[in-house]
Amino acid sequence: MPYFVYRIEEDKQLQCLDRIEKYKDARNQVRELRSMQTSDDRSLIRLIHAGSEIEAERLLLTSREVPVEGDD
């Protein structure tokens, strides 16, 4: 499964920046993109592992449940 690099704007707009097969290459690209962001740029750069671009976007837009304290 490939890795997808996404830019997520404040209004939850997703922009697929790249699709990369190797984790190390994807991680390095994300680090480079984050380092190039200006301080007033509020968008997020995210890396996600998914079978397709559609699945990646679904995973990025799905909110996670907040864990309950003491529910060990």
pLDDT digits (tens, 9 = 90+) for 8-63: 998 889 999 999 999 999 999 999 999 999 999 999 999 999 999 999 999 999 88
Angstrom distance (rounded) from CA 43 to CA 53: 19
Q: Which residues, including other chains, have CB under 8 Å from residue 61's CB and lie 6 or more apart?
A: 12, 14
Question: Both tokens of residue 34?
Answer: 């984050």
Q: What's the sign of the alpha-carbon dihedral 21, 27, 33, 38? A: positive
- In a 13 Å sphere around the CA of 63, the CA atoms on its Cβ side amount to 4
pLDDT number for residue 70:
73
Checking if the pLDDT of 66 tops 90, the result is no
Q: Which residues, including other chains, have CB under 8 Å from residue 66's CB and lie 6 or more apart?
A: none
Residue 72's pLDDT band, with cuts at 50, 70 and 90, is: low
pLDDT number for residue 68:
78
